[in-house]
Structure 1
Amino acid sequence: MGEQPIYTTRAHVFQIDPSTKKNWVPASKQAVTVSYFYDSTRNSYRIISVDGTKVIINSTITANMMFTKTSQKFGQWADSRANTVFGLGFTSEQQLSKFAEKFQEVKEAAKMAREKSQDKVDIRSTRIDLNNDTFDFKQDSGPSSPGSKQASSFNGTDDEKIFKVGPEMLLMKTEHESTAQQSSKWEAELQSLREKNSMLVEELQHASTNMDVCKKQVGACKEESDALRQKVRTLAHLAP
Protein backbone atom coordinates (compact mmCIF):
# COMPACT_ATOMS: atom_id res chain seq x y z
CA MET A 1 0.00 0.00 0.00
CA GLY A 2 2.97 2.34 0.54
CA GLU A 3 2.60 5.63 2.38
CA GLN A 4 -0.90 6.77 3.35
CA PRO A 5 -2.23 9.80 5.32
CA ILE A 6 -3.67 8.89 8.73
CA TYR A 7 -4.47 12.35 10.14
CA THR A 8 -4.77 15.81 8.57
CA THR A 9 -5.26 19.30 10.00
CA ARG A 10 -4.46 22.92 9.08
CA ALA A 11 -1.99 25.24 10.78
CA HIS A 12 0.47 28.10 10.26
CA VAL A 13 3.95 26.59 9.83
CA PHE A 14 7.13 28.09 11.28
CA GLN A 15 10.80 27.08 11.40
CA ILE A 16 13.46 28.29 13.77
CA ASP A 17 15.85 30.82 12.26
CA PRO A 18 19.04 28.83 11.48
CA SER A 19 21.23 31.87 12.08
CA THR A 20 19.94 32.89 15.51
CA LYS A 21 18.32 29.63 16.72
CA LYS A 22 15.96 31.88 18.70
CA ASN A 23 13.58 33.58 16.29
CA TRP A 24 10.76 31.98 14.31
CA VAL A 25 10.50 32.37 10.56
CA PRO A 26 7.12 31.78 8.85
CA ALA A 27 7.33 28.90 6.37
CA SER A 28 3.84 29.61 5.00
CA LYS A 29 1.97 32.85 4.35
CA GLN A 30 -1.29 31.31 5.51
CA ALA A 31 -2.64 28.18 7.19
CA VAL A 32 -1.73 25.06 5.18
CA THR A 33 -2.50 21.35 5.37
CA VAL A 34 -0.33 19.37 7.80
CA SER A 35 -0.64 15.57 7.68
CA TYR A 36 0.67 12.47 9.45
CA PHE A 37 1.68 9.74 6.98
CA TYR A 38 2.31 6.04 7.69
CA ASP A 39 4.60 3.98 5.46
CA SER A 40 3.58 0.35 5.86
CA THR A 41 6.60 -0.82 3.85
CA ARG A 42 9.14 0.81 6.14
CA ASN A 43 6.87 0.84 9.19
CA SER A 44 7.62 4.53 9.70
CA TYR A 45 5.72 7.76 10.32
CA ARG A 46 6.24 11.23 8.88
CA ILE A 47 4.73 14.70 9.22
CA ILE A 48 4.42 16.32 5.80
CA SER A 49 3.20 19.76 4.74
CA VAL A 50 3.27 21.31 1.29
CA ASP A 51 2.66 24.98 0.46
CA GLY A 52 1.87 25.09 -3.24
CA THR A 53 4.72 23.11 -4.80
CA LYS A 54 7.15 23.67 -1.89
CA VAL A 55 7.62 21.03 0.80
CA ILE A 56 7.89 22.96 4.08
CA ILE A 57 7.72 19.98 6.49
CA ASN A 58 9.20 16.52 5.92
CA SER A 59 9.85 15.19 9.41
CA THR A 60 10.23 11.50 10.26
CA ILE A 61 8.90 10.79 13.77
CA THR A 62 11.29 8.92 16.06
CA ALA A 63 10.89 7.50 19.56
CA ASN A 64 13.00 10.22 21.20
CA MET A 65 11.11 13.19 19.72
CA MET A 66 8.90 15.38 21.90
CA PHE A 67 6.06 17.71 20.94
CA THR A 68 5.83 20.67 23.32
CA LYS A 69 2.86 22.99 23.78
CA THR A 70 4.28 26.47 24.31
CA SER A 71 0.93 28.26 24.40
CA GLN A 72 -2.77 27.53 24.02
CA LYS A 73 -2.53 27.54 20.24
CA PHE A 74 1.14 26.85 19.47
CA GLY A 75 3.36 23.77 19.66
CA GLN A 76 6.82 22.73 18.47
CA TRP A 77 9.18 19.81 18.04
CA ALA A 78 12.87 19.44 17.19
CA ASP A 79 14.01 17.31 14.25
CA SER A 80 17.70 16.42 14.51
CA ARG A 81 17.80 14.89 11.03
CA ALA A 82 16.49 18.10 9.46
CA ASN A 83 18.60 20.09 11.94
CA THR A 84 15.73 22.45 12.71
CA VAL A 85 12.76 23.05 14.97
CA PHE A 86 9.25 23.12 13.53
CA GLY A 87 6.44 25.20 15.02
CA LEU A 88 2.70 25.04 14.32
CA GLY A 89 0.15 27.74 15.11
CA PHE A 90 -3.47 26.59 15.28
CA THR A 91 -6.73 28.52 15.29
CA SER A 92 -8.01 26.77 18.41
CA GLU A 93 -6.75 24.98 21.50
CA GLN A 94 -8.74 21.88 20.50
CA GLN A 95 -6.82 21.55 17.22
CA LEU A 96 -3.51 21.82 19.07
CA SER A 97 -4.58 19.16 21.59
CA LYS A 98 -5.63 16.73 18.85
CA PHE A 99 -2.35 17.22 17.01
CA ALA A 100 -0.35 16.70 20.24
CA GLU A 101 -2.30 13.53 21.05
CA LYS A 102 -1.66 12.19 17.55
CA PHE A 103 2.05 13.04 17.89
CA GLN A 104 2.27 11.01 21.12
CA GLU A 105 0.36 8.13 19.51
CA VAL A 106 2.64 8.09 16.47
CA LYS A 107 5.72 8.42 18.67
CA GLU A 108 4.68 5.33 20.69
CA ALA A 109 4.02 3.43 17.47
CA ALA A 110 7.46 4.39 16.17
CA LYS A 111 8.99 3.26 19.47
CA MET A 112 7.25 -0.12 19.25
CA ALA A 113 8.34 -0.52 15.64
CA ARG A 114 11.93 0.23 16.66
CA GLU A 115 11.83 -2.29 19.52
CA LYS A 116 10.46 -5.00 17.21
CA SER A 117 13.21 -4.23 14.73
CA GLN A 118 15.84 -4.47 17.46
CA ASP A 119 14.44 -7.81 18.61
CA LYS A 120 15.24 -9.22 15.19
CA VAL A 121 18.82 -8.00 15.32
CA ASP A 122 21.41 -9.51 17.64
CA ILE A 123 22.96 -6.43 19.24
CA ARG A 124 26.30 -7.59 20.48
CA SER A 125 29.97 -6.77 20.27
CA THR A 126 31.47 -7.82 16.96
CA ARG A 127 35.06 -8.61 16.40
CA ILE A 128 36.69 -8.39 13.00
CA ASP A 129 40.19 -9.27 12.01
CA LEU A 130 41.76 -7.08 9.36
CA ASN A 131 45.45 -7.45 8.45
CA ASN A 132 46.01 -9.33 11.73
CA ASP A 133 44.71 -6.29 13.65
CA THR A 134 41.58 -6.66 15.80
CA PHE A 135 38.98 -3.93 16.08
CA ASP A 136 36.09 -3.85 18.60
CA PHE A 137 32.98 -1.81 17.98
CA LYS A 138 29.31 -1.79 18.97
CA GLN A 139 26.39 -1.19 16.71
CA ASP A 140 24.97 2.28 17.13
CA SER A 141 21.33 2.49 18.06
CA GLY A 142 20.62 4.97 15.30
CA PRO A 143 22.16 7.48 12.89
CA SER A 144 23.57 10.69 14.24
CA SER A 145 24.33 13.97 12.63
CA PRO A 146 26.61 16.87 13.57
CA GLY A 147 23.58 19.02 14.35
CA SER A 148 21.63 16.43 16.33
CA LYS A 149 22.91 17.57 19.70
CA GLN A 150 22.26 21.17 18.87
CA ALA A 151 18.77 20.56 17.48
CA SER A 152 17.68 18.27 20.32
CA SER A 153 18.81 20.84 22.86
CA PHE A 154 15.97 23.12 21.83
CA ASN A 155 13.55 21.18 24.07
CA GLY A 156 13.57 22.68 27.56
CA THR A 157 16.50 25.10 27.13
CA ASP A 158 16.80 28.83 27.72
CA ASP A 159 16.66 29.31 23.95
CA GLU A 160 13.24 27.72 23.92
CA LYS A 161 12.03 30.14 26.58
CA ILE A 162 13.20 33.04 24.46
CA PHE A 163 11.41 32.14 21.24
CA LYS A 164 8.19 30.82 22.74
CA VAL A 165 6.52 34.21 22.33
CA GLY A 166 7.67 34.76 18.75
CA PRO A 167 5.08 32.69 16.84
CA GLU A 168 2.16 34.25 18.68
CA MET A 169 3.40 37.69 17.71
CA LEU A 170 3.87 36.58 14.10
CA LEU A 171 0.37 35.08 14.02
CA MET A 172 -1.07 38.27 15.48
CA LYS A 173 0.88 40.25 12.87
CA THR A 174 -0.47 38.05 10.07
CA GLU A 175 -4.04 38.40 11.36
CA HIS A 176 -3.55 42.16 11.82
CA GLU A 177 -2.27 42.53 8.25
CA SER A 178 -5.23 40.52 6.95
CA THR A 179 -7.65 42.69 8.95
CA ALA A 180 -5.89 45.84 7.75
CA GLN A 181 -6.22 44.71 4.13
CA GLN A 182 -9.93 44.00 4.60
CA SER A 183 -10.38 47.35 6.35
CA SER A 184 -8.65 49.16 3.46
CA LYS A 185 -10.89 47.34 1.00
CA TRP A 186 -14.01 48.31 2.95
CA GLU A 187 -12.86 51.94 3.20
CA ALA A 188 -12.30 52.02 -0.57
CA GLU A 189 -15.78 50.59 -1.18
CA LEU A 190 -17.29 53.07 1.30
CA GLN A 191 -15.53 55.97 -0.43
CA SER A 192 -16.82 54.73 -3.78
CA LEU A 193 -20.37 54.60 -2.40
CA ARG A 194 -19.99 58.12 -1.02
CA GLU A 195 -18.89 59.42 -4.42
CA LYS A 196 -21.79 57.66 -6.14
CA ASN A 197 -24.18 59.08 -3.54
CA SER A 198 -22.83 62.60 -4.16
CA MET A 199 -23.32 62.17 -7.90
CA LEU A 200 -26.92 60.96 -7.35
CA VAL A 201 -27.64 63.95 -5.08
CA GLU A 202 -26.30 66.35 -7.73
CA GLU A 203 -28.36 64.65 -10.44
CA LEU A 204 -31.46 64.79 -8.22
CA GLN A 205 -30.91 68.48 -7.54
CA HIS A 206 -30.41 69.12 -11.24
CA ALA A 207 -33.58 67.18 -12.06
CA SER A 208 -35.48 69.11 -9.39
CA THR A 209 -34.29 72.41 -10.88
CA ASN A 210 -35.34 71.30 -14.36
CA MET A 211 -38.75 70.30 -12.98
CA ASP A 212 -39.22 73.74 -11.45
CA VAL A 213 -38.35 75.35 -14.79
CA CYS A 214 -40.77 73.05 -16.58
CA LYS A 215 -43.53 73.90 -14.08
CA LYS A 216 -42.97 77.63 -14.69
CA GLN A 217 -43.04 77.10 -18.45
CA VAL A 218 -46.25 75.06 -18.18
CA GLY A 219 -47.79 77.76 -15.97
CA ALA A 220 -46.83 80.47 -18.49
CA CYS A 221 -48.29 78.43 -21.36
CA LYS A 222 -51.51 77.93 -19.42
CA GLU A 223 -51.82 81.64 -18.71
CA GLU A 224 -51.19 82.43 -22.37
CA SER A 225 -53.76 79.82 -23.40
CA ASP A 226 -56.35 81.28 -21.02
CA ALA A 227 -55.69 84.74 -22.40
CA LEU A 228 -56.18 83.53 -25.97
CA ARG A 229 -59.45 81.81 -25.04
CA GLN A 230 -60.70 85.03 -23.47
CA LYS A 231 -59.85 86.97 -26.61
CA VAL A 232 -61.68 84.41 -28.73
CA ARG A 233 -64.78 84.73 -26.56
CA THR A 234 -64.61 88.55 -26.74
CA LEU A 235 -64.31 88.50 -30.52
CA ALA A 236 -67.20 86.05 -30.76
CA HIS A 237 -69.49 88.43 -28.87
CA LEU A 238 -68.44 91.42 -30.99
CA ALA A 239 -69.02 89.67 -34.26
CA PRO A 240 -72.26 90.79 -36.14
Structure 2
Amino acid sequence: MGEQPIFSTRAHVFQIDPSTKKNWVPTSKHAVTVSYFFDSTRNVYRIISLDGSKAIINSTITPNMTFTKTSQKFGQWADSRANTVYGLGFSSESHLAKFAEKFAEFKEAARLAKEKSQEKMELTSTPSQESAPGDLQSPLTSESINGTDENRVPPGTPQHTEARAEPSQNALPLSHSSSSISKHWEAELAALKGNNAKLTAALLESTANVKQWKQQLAAYQEEAERLHKRVTELECVSGQATVIKSQKTELNRTIEELEMALKAKEVELESLKLEVENADELRFQKDTLTHRLKDTESKNQTLEAQLSDLQQRLKSTQLEREAYQKSLRSLLELLDSKIFELTELRDTLAKLIEGS
Protein backbone atom coordinates (compact mmCIF):
# COMPACT_ATOMS: atom_id res chain seq x y z
CA MET A 1 0.00 0.00 0.00
CA GLY A 2 3.04 2.33 0.42
CA GLU A 3 3.19 5.34 2.75
CA GLN A 4 -0.10 6.90 3.85
CA PRO A 5 -0.89 9.95 6.07
CA ILE A 6 -2.65 8.94 9.30
CA PHE A 7 -2.86 12.25 11.20
CA SER A 8 -2.34 15.90 10.22
CA THR A 9 -2.31 19.27 12.01
CA ARG A 10 -0.97 22.76 11.42
CA ALA A 11 1.89 24.41 13.30
CA HIS A 12 4.84 26.78 13.01
CA VAL A 13 8.04 24.78 12.48
CA PHE A 14 11.39 25.59 14.13
CA GLN A 15 14.81 23.93 14.25
CA ILE A 16 17.60 24.37 16.78
CA ASP A 17 20.44 26.58 15.56
CA PRO A 18 23.20 24.09 14.54
CA SER A 19 25.97 26.58 15.42
CA THR A 20 24.86 27.55 18.93
CA LYS A 21 22.57 24.63 19.87
CA LYS A 22 20.62 27.19 21.91
CA ASN A 23 18.42 29.42 19.74
CA TRP A 24 15.41 28.45 17.63
CA VAL A 25 15.47 29.19 13.89
CA PRO A 26 12.06 29.34 12.13
CA THR A 27 11.99 27.07 9.06
CA SER A 28 8.46 28.02 7.95
CA LYS A 29 7.25 31.53 7.26
CA HIS A 30 3.74 30.64 8.41
CA ALA A 31 1.80 27.74 9.87
CA VAL A 32 2.17 24.64 7.69
CA THR A 33 0.70 21.14 7.68
CA VAL A 34 2.57 18.61 9.82
CA SER A 35 1.54 14.97 9.21
CA TYR A 36 2.25 11.51 10.58
CA PHE A 37 2.90 8.93 7.83
CA PHE A 38 2.97 5.14 8.07
CA ASP A 39 5.02 3.08 5.63
CA SER A 40 3.38 -0.34 5.62
CA THR A 41 6.15 -1.92 3.54
CA ARG A 42 8.87 -1.05 6.07
CA ASN A 43 6.55 -0.78 9.11
CA VAL A 44 7.92 2.73 9.87
CA TYR A 45 6.27 5.89 11.21
CA ARG A 46 7.50 9.29 10.03
CA ILE A 47 6.72 12.98 10.68
CA ILE A 48 6.73 14.97 7.43
CA SER A 49 6.04 18.64 6.73
CA LEU A 50 6.34 20.53 3.46
CA ASP A 51 6.65 24.27 2.90
CA GLY A 52 5.72 24.47 -0.74
CA SER A 53 7.96 21.89 -2.43
CA LYS A 54 10.60 21.98 0.34
CA ALA A 55 10.61 19.27 3.03
CA ILE A 56 11.27 21.07 6.33
CA ILE A 57 10.58 17.99 8.49
CA ASN A 58 11.45 14.40 7.59
CA SER A 59 11.83 12.59 10.91
CA THR A 60 11.50 8.84 11.45
CA ILE A 61 9.99 8.00 14.85
CA THR A 62 12.13 5.66 16.96
CA PRO A 63 11.52 4.18 20.43
CA ASN A 64 14.28 6.39 21.86
CA MET A 65 12.58 9.65 20.87
CA THR A 66 10.71 11.82 23.39
CA PHE A 67 8.29 14.65 22.65
CA THR A 68 8.57 17.37 25.33
CA LYS A 69 6.06 20.15 26.01
CA THR A 70 8.09 23.26 26.88
CA SER A 71 5.07 25.59 27.13
CA GLN A 72 1.29 25.55 26.67
CA LYS A 73 1.56 25.81 22.88
CA PHE A 74 5.12 24.66 22.09
CA GLY A 75 6.70 21.21 21.94
CA GLN A 76 9.96 19.72 20.67
CA TRP A 77 11.78 16.45 20.02
CA ALA A 78 15.33 15.44 19.10
CA ASP A 79 16.13 13.45 15.97
CA SER A 80 19.55 11.80 16.24
CA ARG A 81 19.52 10.69 12.60
CA ALA A 82 18.96 14.22 11.34
CA ASN A 83 21.27 15.55 14.09
CA THR A 84 18.85 18.32 15.02
CA VAL A 85 16.00 19.26 17.36
CA TYR A 86 12.59 20.11 15.89
CA GLY A 87 10.15 22.54 17.54
CA LEU A 88 6.45 23.09 16.79
CA GLY A 89 4.34 26.09 17.80
CA PHE A 90 0.60 25.36 17.83
CA SER A 91 -2.37 27.70 17.79
CA SER A 92 -3.96 26.09 20.87
CA GLU A 93 -3.09 23.84 23.77
CA SER A 94 -5.51 21.16 22.56
CA HIS A 95 -3.67 20.82 19.22
CA LEU A 96 -0.39 20.39 21.10
CA ALA A 97 -1.92 17.76 23.38
CA LYS A 98 -3.36 15.84 20.40
CA PHE A 99 0.00 15.89 18.59
CA ALA A 100 1.83 14.70 21.74
CA GLU A 101 -0.74 11.92 22.21
CA LYS A 102 -0.22 10.70 18.64
CA PHE A 103 3.55 10.92 19.08
CA ALA A 104 3.42 8.65 22.13
CA GLU A 105 1.05 6.26 20.34
CA PHE A 106 3.22 5.93 17.21
CA LYS A 107 6.39 5.74 19.31
CA GLU A 108 4.96 2.71 21.12
CA ALA A 109 3.93 1.23 17.77
CA ALA A 110 7.47 1.77 16.47
CA ARG A 111 8.86 0.03 19.56
CA LEU A 112 6.59 -2.97 19.06
CA ALA A 113 7.48 -3.08 15.36
CA LYS A 114 11.19 -2.98 16.22
CA GLU A 115 10.80 -5.83 18.72
CA LYS A 116 8.92 -7.93 16.18
CA SER A 117 11.59 -7.17 13.58
CA GLN A 118 14.33 -8.23 16.00
CA GLU A 119 12.47 -11.44 16.87
CA LYS A 120 12.00 -12.17 13.18
CA MET A 121 15.70 -11.51 12.58
CA GLU A 122 16.71 -13.84 15.41
CA LEU A 123 14.44 -16.56 14.07
CA THR A 124 15.82 -16.04 10.59
CA SER A 125 19.45 -16.14 11.74
CA THR A 126 18.97 -19.30 13.90
CA PRO A 127 18.77 -22.78 12.20
CA SER A 128 15.42 -24.51 12.59
CA GLN A 129 15.28 -27.08 15.41
CA GLU A 130 12.61 -29.08 13.61
CA SER A 131 14.71 -29.82 10.51
CA ALA A 132 16.56 -33.11 10.05
CA PRO A 133 20.13 -33.43 11.40
CA GLY A 134 21.54 -33.29 7.93
CA ASP A 135 19.51 -30.19 6.91
CA LEU A 136 21.00 -26.72 7.11
CA GLN A 137 19.28 -23.40 6.47
CA SER A 138 20.68 -21.12 3.82
CA PRO A 139 23.05 -18.40 5.09
CA LEU A 140 21.71 -14.89 5.91
CA THR A 141 21.92 -12.26 3.21
CA SER A 142 21.32 -8.56 3.13
CA GLU A 143 17.99 -9.19 1.42
CA SER A 144 16.74 -11.40 4.23
CA ILE A 145 17.77 -8.82 6.84
CA ASN A 146 15.76 -6.13 5.05
CA GLY A 147 12.68 -8.34 5.10
CA THR A 148 12.72 -9.73 1.52
CA ASP A 149 12.60 -13.48 0.93
CA GLU A 150 13.35 -13.51 -2.78
CA ASN A 151 16.84 -15.03 -2.37
CA ARG A 152 15.86 -17.49 0.36
CA VAL A 153 16.01 -21.06 -1.10
CA PRO A 154 12.96 -23.17 -0.20
CA PRO A 155 13.48 -26.73 1.10
CA GLY A 156 13.53 -29.47 -1.49
CA THR A 157 15.12 -27.49 -4.35
CA PRO A 158 18.38 -28.60 -6.00
CA GLN A 159 20.27 -25.73 -4.37
CA HIS A 160 19.17 -26.91 -0.93
CA THR A 161 20.29 -30.41 -1.83
CA GLU A 162 23.73 -29.10 -2.66
CA ALA A 163 23.86 -27.20 0.62
CA ARG A 164 22.89 -30.40 2.47
CA ALA A 165 25.70 -32.26 0.78
CA GLU A 166 28.29 -29.74 1.97
CA PRO A 167 27.25 -28.61 5.48
CA SER A 168 30.78 -27.85 6.62
CA GLN A 169 31.22 -25.23 3.90
CA ASN A 170 27.95 -23.37 4.68
CA ALA A 171 28.22 -23.39 8.48
CA LEU A 172 31.06 -20.84 8.51
CA PRO A 173 29.22 -18.14 6.48
CA LEU A 174 26.20 -18.51 8.77
CA SER A 175 28.12 -17.89 12.00
CA HIS A 176 30.23 -15.18 10.40
CA SER A 177 27.12 -13.38 9.07
CA SER A 178 25.40 -13.59 12.47
CA SER A 179 28.42 -12.15 14.32
CA SER A 180 28.87 -9.35 11.76
CA ILE A 181 25.18 -8.47 12.01
CA SER A 182 25.42 -8.45 15.81
CA LYS A 183 28.48 -6.20 15.71
CA HIS A 184 26.78 -3.93 13.20
CA TRP A 185 23.72 -3.49 15.43
CA GLU A 186 25.90 -2.97 18.52
CA ALA A 187 27.91 -0.29 16.74
CA GLU A 188 24.76 1.41 15.49
CA LEU A 189 23.21 1.23 18.98
CA ALA A 190 26.35 2.77 20.52
CA ALA A 191 26.32 5.55 17.92
CA LEU A 192 22.64 6.23 18.55
CA LYS A 193 23.23 6.34 22.31
CA GLY A 194 26.09 8.82 21.83
CA ASN A 195 24.01 11.02 19.54
CA ASN A 196 21.08 10.78 21.92
CA ALA A 197 23.25 11.92 24.84
CA LYS A 198 24.60 14.85 22.84
CA LEU A 199 21.13 15.89 21.68
CA THR A 200 19.72 15.52 25.19
CA ALA A 201 22.43 17.83 26.55
CA ALA A 202 21.75 20.32 23.76
CA LEU A 203 18.03 20.09 24.47
CA LEU A 204 18.49 20.79 28.18
CA GLU A 205 20.79 23.66 27.40
CA SER A 206 18.32 25.12 24.91
CA THR A 207 15.46 24.77 27.40
CA ALA A 208 17.45 26.62 30.05
CA ASN A 209 18.34 29.47 27.74
CA VAL A 210 16.75 32.73 28.85
CA LYS A 211 17.10 34.43 25.48
CA GLN A 212 14.80 31.96 23.79
CA TRP A 213 11.66 33.77 24.94
CA LYS A 214 12.87 37.12 23.63
CA GLN A 215 13.81 35.63 20.29
CA GLN A 216 10.46 33.88 20.00
CA LEU A 217 8.73 37.17 20.82
CA ALA A 218 10.71 38.95 18.12
CA ALA A 219 9.92 36.12 15.71
CA TYR A 220 6.22 36.43 16.55
CA GLN A 221 6.35 40.18 15.93
CA GLU A 222 8.02 39.69 12.56
CA GLU A 223 5.54 36.94 11.74
CA ALA A 224 2.60 39.22 12.65
CA GLU A 225 3.93 42.01 10.41
CA ARG A 226 4.54 39.57 7.59
CA LEU A 227 1.06 38.12 7.99
CA HIS A 228 -0.49 41.59 7.89
CA LYS A 229 1.30 42.26 4.61
CA ARG A 230 0.27 38.83 3.34
CA VAL A 231 -3.40 39.51 4.16
CA THR A 232 -3.22 42.81 2.28
CA GLU A 233 -1.67 41.08 -0.73
CA LEU A 234 -4.28 38.33 -0.67
CA GLU A 235 -7.09 40.88 -0.55
CA CYS A 236 -5.70 42.51 -3.71
CA VAL A 237 -5.48 39.24 -5.61
CA SER A 238 -8.51 38.31 -7.70
CA GLY A 239 -9.74 34.79 -8.31
CA GLN A 240 -9.54 31.72 -6.13
CA ALA A 241 -11.93 33.36 -3.71
CA THR A 242 -12.55 30.29 -1.61
CA VAL A 243 -8.89 29.43 -1.11
CA ILE A 244 -7.96 33.04 -0.41
CA LYS A 245 -10.84 33.42 2.03
CA SER A 246 -9.85 30.33 3.99
CA GLN A 247 -6.21 31.43 4.01
CA LYS A 248 -7.26 34.91 5.11
CA THR A 249 -9.37 33.50 7.93
CA GLU A 250 -6.52 31.31 9.11
CA LEU A 251 -4.01 34.14 8.85
CA ASN A 252 -6.33 36.51 10.72
CA ARG A 253 -6.79 33.93 13.45
CA THR A 254 -3.03 33.44 13.67
CA ILE A 255 -2.55 37.23 13.75
CA GLU A 256 -5.09 37.60 16.55
CA GLU A 257 -3.38 34.87 18.57
CA LEU A 258 0.02 36.45 18.01
CA GLU A 259 -1.33 39.91 18.87
CA MET A 260 -2.89 38.58 22.06
CA ALA A 261 0.38 36.91 22.98
CA LEU A 262 2.27 40.12 22.17
CA LYS A 263 -0.14 42.22 24.25
CA ALA A 264 0.21 39.87 27.19
CA LYS A 265 4.00 39.98 26.92
CA GLU A 266 3.94 43.77 26.53
CA VAL A 267 1.75 44.16 29.62
CA GLU A 268 4.08 41.89 31.53
CA LEU A 269 7.10 43.87 30.32
CA GLU A 270 5.45 47.18 31.26
CA SER A 271 4.62 45.92 34.75
CA LEU A 272 8.19 44.71 35.18
CA LYS A 273 9.54 48.03 33.92
CA LEU A 274 7.30 49.96 36.34
CA GLU A 275 8.43 47.78 39.22
CA VAL A 276 12.06 48.28 38.28
CA GLU A 277 11.58 52.04 37.85
CA ASN A 278 9.75 52.32 41.18
CA ALA A 279 12.44 50.34 42.92
CA ASP A 280 15.17 52.47 41.34
CA GLU A 281 13.33 55.67 42.21
CA LEU A 282 12.80 54.62 45.82
CA ARG A 283 16.42 53.58 46.08
CA PHE A 284 17.50 56.95 44.63
CA GLN A 285 15.22 58.85 47.02
CA LYS A 286 16.57 56.87 49.94
CA ASP A 287 20.17 57.60 48.95
CA THR A 288 19.35 61.28 48.42
CA LEU A 289 17.64 61.63 51.79
CA THR A 290 20.46 59.80 53.53
CA HIS A 291 23.01 62.10 51.92
CA ARG A 292 20.97 65.19 52.79
CA LEU A 293 20.56 63.98 56.37
CA LYS A 294 24.31 63.53 56.71
CA ASP A 295 24.88 67.00 55.21
CA THR A 296 22.32 68.51 57.59
CA GLU A 297 23.91 66.85 60.59
CA SER A 298 27.36 68.10 59.59
CA LYS A 299 25.93 71.61 59.00
CA ASN A 300 24.22 71.54 62.40
CA GLN A 301 27.46 70.61 64.08
CA THR A 302 29.25 73.41 62.22
CA LEU A 303 26.53 75.92 63.14
CA GLU A 304 26.62 74.87 66.77
CA ALA A 305 30.38 75.35 66.81
CA GLN A 306 29.99 78.76 65.15
CA LEU A 307 27.25 79.76 67.58
CA SER A 308 29.41 78.82 70.56
CA ASP A 309 32.30 80.79 69.09
CA LEU A 310 30.04 83.79 68.41
CA GLN A 311 28.70 83.71 71.97
CA GLN A 312 32.24 83.72 73.34
CA ARG A 313 33.23 86.52 70.97
CA LEU A 314 30.09 88.46 71.97
CA LYS A 315 30.98 88.18 75.62
CA SER A 316 34.55 89.30 74.97
CA THR A 317 33.24 92.13 72.78
CA GLN A 318 30.85 93.27 75.49
CA LEU A 319 33.70 93.28 78.01
CA GLU A 320 35.89 95.23 75.63
CA ARG A 321 33.05 97.66 74.97
CA GLU A 322 32.49 98.28 78.67
CA ALA A 323 36.22 98.86 79.16
CA TYR A 324 36.26 101.21 76.16
CA GLN A 325 33.26 103.10 77.51
CA LYS A 326 35.03 103.49 80.84
CA SER A 327 38.11 104.81 79.02
CA LEU A 328 35.97 107.26 77.05
CA ARG A 329 34.30 108.50 80.21
CA SER A 330 37.63 109.07 81.87
CA LEU A 331 38.91 110.84 78.73
CA LEU A 332 35.76 113.01 78.62
CA GLU A 333 36.20 113.96 82.26
CA LEU A 334 39.86 114.78 81.63
CA LEU A 335 38.88 116.75 78.52
CA ASP A 336 36.25 118.68 80.46
CA SER A 337 38.78 119.60 83.12
CA LYS A 338 41.28 120.72 80.49
CA ILE A 339 38.64 122.75 78.70
CA PHE A 340 37.68 124.40 81.98
CA GLU A 341 41.30 125.20 82.66
CA LEU A 342 41.74 126.63 79.16
CA THR A 343 38.62 128.71 79.57
CA GLU A 344 39.91 130.17 82.83
CA LEU A 345 43.27 130.76 81.14
CA ARG A 346 41.53 132.59 78.26
CA ASP A 347 39.53 134.71 80.59
CA THR A 348 42.67 135.62 82.51
CA LEU A 349 44.54 136.48 79.32
CA ALA A 350 41.58 138.56 78.13
CA LYS A 351 41.50 140.50 81.37
CA LEU A 352 45.23 141.03 81.16
CA ILE A 353 44.91 142.40 77.65
CA GLU A 354 42.07 144.70 78.64
CA GLY A 355 44.03 145.95 81.69
CA SER A 356 47.09 146.71 79.69
TM-score, with structure 2 as normaliser: 0.44
Q: Deviations over 1:2-46 (max 9, x none)?
A: 000000001110111111111111111111110000000000000
Q: Deviations over 1:40-72 (max 9, x none)?
A: 000000000010111100000001110011111
Q: Deviations over 1:173-210 (max 9, x none)?
A: 34423544649x99xxxxxxxxxxxxxxxxxxxxxxxx
CA distance in 2, matches of 1:147, 1:34: 25
Written as runs of structure 1 = structure 2, the 5 A alignment for 1:189-228 is: none
Equivalent residues of 1:83, 1:148 under 8 A apart: no
> What is the deviation of 1:120?
1.1
CA distance in 2, matches of 1:149, 1:179: 39
Residue of structure 2 equivalent to 1:149: 194
Q: Percent identity?
A: 56
Equivalent residues of 1:13, 1:86 under 8 A apart: yes
Unaligned runs of 5+ in 2: 127-170, 174-178, 233-356
Greater share of residues in strand: 1
Task: Give SS of 2:64's match.
Answer: coil
- CA gap of 1:117–1:67, structure 2 versus 1, over 3 A, is same
- CA gap of 1:43–1:164, structure 2 versus 1, over 3 A, is farther
Task: Give SS of 1:30's match.
Answer: coil
> What is the deviation of 1:165?
6.3
> What is the deviation of 1:148?
6.3
Between structure 1 and structure 2, the one with the greater Rg is 2
Q: State the aligned residue count.
A: 180
Q: Deviations over 1:131-168 (max 9, x none)?
A: xxxxx6634258369686245433366413334862x5
Residue of structure 2 equivalent to 1:111: 111
Equivalent residues of 2:14, 2:26 under 8 A apart: yes
- CA gap of 1:101–1:172, structure 2 versus 1, over 3 A, is same
Q: What RMSD over aligned residues (CA atoms) do the two structures have, in Å? A: 3.4
Residue of structure 1 equivalent to 2:16: 16
Equivalent residues of 1:70, 1:164 under 8 A apart: no
For residue 143 of structure 1, what is the amino acid of its counterpart? E
Task: Give SS of 2:217's match.
Answer: helix
- CA gap of 1:21–1:7, structure 2 versus 1, over 3 A, is same
- CA gap of 1:179–1:18, structure 2 versus 1, over 3 A, is closer
